[in-house]
Structure 1
Amino acid sequence: MMDWVPIVFVTFKVLVFGTCMFLAIKWHYERGQKGKEKEKSGAVLRAGGKVAAVFALSLLGLLLLTFGLSGMLGLDLTFP
């Protein structure tokens, strides 16, 4: 019964964070378009891409750290 709870919560969390990041990047991009036409649109997109890449790498690092620490503590995280 409880096996599906982490899957649902992690999926929900990824969807919420992905949606929020998309909307934040879009808002900054549109704000940059409004003030300075198309001068900085490429810079805003590059900055958004960098933020997304840093977030993805941080998430991967946290995942690896969590699995490494749980393995050191002797927790069994294998899927059934």
Structure 2
Amino acid sequence: MKTISKQAIISDEVRRYMQALGLTQVDIAKTLGVQAPAVSRKINGSRRWSIEDVDRLEADGCPIGLRILYMGEEVGA
């Protein structure tokens, strides 16, 4: 069974989101508050996605998010 990293899953979801809405890396860069080359590096795996990136993308409508458990209880929901 092939193991896929969480970073690769985020990149795949961002690619799908961009394709579905016709967004560019410049659009995603504006959402994240970075330059387009940084988005390219994140999507291609040479730079990591941060929790803040995921939060910003989720707030923008991208179907990704984090579920955080603390001592068995979901927090921040």
Place the TM-score, normalised by the shorter chain, in its bin.
Answer: 0.3 to 0.5
Higher helix share: 1
Give 1 or 2 for the bigger CA radius of gyration.
1
What is the TM-score with the length of structure 2 in the denominator? 0.33
Counting strand residues as a fraction of each chain, which structure ranks higher? Answer: 2
